[in-house]
Amino acid sequence: MFDIIELNGKKVAELREIASKLGITRVDKLKKQDLVYSILDEQAAQPNANKSKAKSDANESAPKKRAPRGKKSADDQGQDKPKSDNRRRGKDDGQDDKSKSDAPSSENGSDANKDGQDQGRRSGESMRERRDRRRREGQGDDARGKDDNAKGVQEQGGKNDRNDRNDRNDRNNRGERGDRNNRNDRSNRNDRNNRNDRNNRNNRNRRDPFLSEPEEHGFDFDGLVQTEGVVEVQQEGHAFLRSADYNYLNSPDDVYISAKQLKQFGLQTGDTVVAGIRPPRMGEKYYPLLDVKSVNGRSPEWIKNRVPFKFLTPLFPQERFKLSTARGTVSTRLMDLFAPIGKGQRGMIVSQPKTGKTTLLKDVANAISLNHPEVYLIILLIDERPEEVTDMKRSVNAEVVASTFDEPADRHVRIANLVLEKAKRMVECGHDVCILLDSITRLARAYNTVSPSSGKILSGGVEANALQKPKRFFGAARNIENGGSLSIIATALTETGSKMDEVIFEEFKGTGNMELQLDRRISNRRIYPAIDILASGTRREDLLMDKADLQRIWILRKHLADMNSVEAMEFVKDRVEGSRNNEDFLASMNG
């Protein structure tokens, strides 16, 4: 029996010879490691054959049994005694040679040592045969002792020597059997361990290479990639950089910001950050933030000294948005005349269903993006149809953030809050921001859905405290002293048949400083834009328009006061379409 250590120490030619004796075929094509495993497997599969082969070899090499001896002469006995003594001394010397390499040994001792080793290799002899042989020898020795007392002493010594040799042989045989068993056990364990190692190696080889990436990829990508997003601080103290591509919701592109970095750079919820990142390492789920390049278009040092939004001084709008374009859209030209919009305006477009409010909002967005590229324009669509969201993204050059009607109410609220915080942070840094909201009625419904029950319910099923947050959203629009403005133009639904919509509209009715009314009777006549000119207007429009133009507008309003909304719209639309721009239209009134 060979174990794996002995086989690994042999050469390939020796291994092939051993494999051929064991009956293994095609040994010439096997490598050394495969030969070792094949020999171990063959030995484990044929333990009985190996034992029988060893037994036959031992029987052939063992000498024939000696017959019981009779009486011998004193000379023969004298010759036997020193021979046995020499054997015993030789074995003792052989054992000493094994333990101590510097002890001398005689030739007789080496021969006796070989005889002892040959006697120890008689593994094929069973225990029963040895006991019978010792019993027969013992009986013969006892008979000789009874016949001759003088010779009995020498015979007793010889018998003791033979018994000692037999005992030593028995112990050697038992020890060798134990050694063979131990070697077999060790080889079996080694075989199992080797097979397990091979299985583990095969499993590792079959493992997905994408799942076994090293912890260190060998390249330094830290800071090579920059990203832009909006900060959202979590309740746990850390924050994430949300992407506008996913409407500022959870996404695979999120960048992790630690609480220490928030304090170091002075970041808040809504800050638009351009920062360097690095790839996530083993055990990391997000892209970590390394350094901040800019915050809201400002340097990180400037951000630390900014004034919070609630401490900024609000003013009336004083700078006007020019909505007239070279393409001559009638809707925006009419808004410039009768309901001008300024930076910091809080305007509301009140309309019934199917009056063209979304189309009008799209025209306003295109006009602002074309005439005022310095204004950051955000279109916030809440509870709208998905096809309208796609149309708005494709037709308007602005950031479109949407939450369609098939999304839950808490998503509406979360997106609206993050957009509002982003606009506030930009205003704190001196930027002009305009939010076009469609619609504030649906946003108020979402706030009413997610607000906890207080026990006080208004008519229409509106919670008493549910409208506080949408009012705060709409009231954030203001013109800031010494730079910066936040304009919000929102649409509100009326006459929808819902009592809740009526209550919401009544709550927002007096909060805006600009109101544009759309009339269903005008849209039924397929007259667009369906603007009710007499009911539309802007507070403190004298701050936005020239005095000469304002005087002409007042004269025109007096002329239209005697008409209804349909007649007034038809009259003004015909005159406006006949002129190149609003200046020509106002100049034609004097003629």
Q: How confident is the model at residue 413 (pLDDT cuts 50, 70, 90)?
A: very high
Read off the pLDDT of residues 55-66 as tens digits, 9 standing for 90 and up.
Answer: 444 454 444 444
In the predicted model, what is the mean pLDDT of residues 437-465?
A: 87
**pTM for the model:** 0.63
Instruction: Supply the angle between the helices 440-450 and 409-428 in degrees, to the nearest 10.
Output: 120
Q: Please give the Cα distance from 336 to 570 (Å, whole number).
A: 17
CA triple 341-346-347, angle to 5 deg: 65
Q: Where are the domains of the chain?
A: 225-306, 314-589
Q: % helix / strand / coil in the chain, to the nearest 5? A: 55, 15, 35
pLDDT tens column, 480-495: 998 899 999 999 999 8
| DSSP calls for 323-347 | ---TT--HHHHHHHHHS--BTT-EE
- Which CATH architecture is the domain 314-589 placed in? 3-Layer(aba) Sandwich (3.40)
- What phi, psi does 493 have (nearest 5°)? -95, 140
Compute the distance between CA of residue 46 and CA of residue 35 in angstroms, rounded to an integer.
16
The helix (H) or strand (E) run that includes residue 34 is helix 32-45
| 189-193, 393-397, 580-584, range with the lowest pLDDT | 189-193
In this structure, what DSSP letter does residue 452 have? P
Q: Is the pLDDT of residue 352 over 60?
A: yes
End-to-end Cα spacing for the chain? 124
Q: Return mean pLDDT, the chain.
A: 78
pLDDT in tens, 432-441: 999 999 989 9
Query: What is d(CA 61, CA 119) in angstroms, rounded to the nearest whole number?
Result: 10
- Measure the CA angle with vertex 247, ends 245 and 252; round to 5°: 60
pLDDT band at 104 (very low <50, low <70, confident <90, very high): very low
**Model confidence pLDDT, tens digit, residues 146-156:** 444 444 444 44
Please check whether residue 520 is in contact with residue 354, taking contact to mean a CB–CB distance below 8 angstroms: yes
Which two structure tokens, joined as six digits, stand for 473?
A: 């959203």
Residue 76 has pLDDT above 50, yes or no: no
Rounded-to-integer distance, Cα 311 and Cα 318, Å? 20
Residue type, 298: R
Give the range among 23-37, 69-83, 368-382, 481-495 with minimum mean pLDDT: 69-83
d(CA 298, CA 327) in angstroms, rounded, equals 36
Q: Grade residue 590 by pLDDT with cuts at 50, 70 and 90.
A: low
Q: Give which of 401, 30, 181 is closest to 392, Cα–Cα.
A: 401
Across residues 83-103, what is the average pLDDT?
A: 44
More confidently predicted of 200 and 208: 200
Give the architecture (CATH level 2) of 225-306: Beta Barrel (2.40)
Local confidence band at 196 (pLDDT 50, 70, 90 cut-offs): low
User: For the segment 218-271, what is each residue's pLDDT rounded down to a tens digit?
Assistant: 566 676 788 999 999 999 999 999 999 999 999 988 999 999 999 999 999 999
pLDDT confidence of 145, banded at 50, 70, 90? very low
Whether the per-residue pLDDT at 274 is higher than 90: the answer is yes
Instruction: Report how far apart, in Å, the C-alpha atoms of 9 and of each of 13, 180, 195 are.
Output: 12, 19, 19
pLDDT of residue 117 exceeding 60, the answer is: no
Percent of the chain with pLDDT over 70: 69
- Tokens representing residue 527 in the block: 């007259």
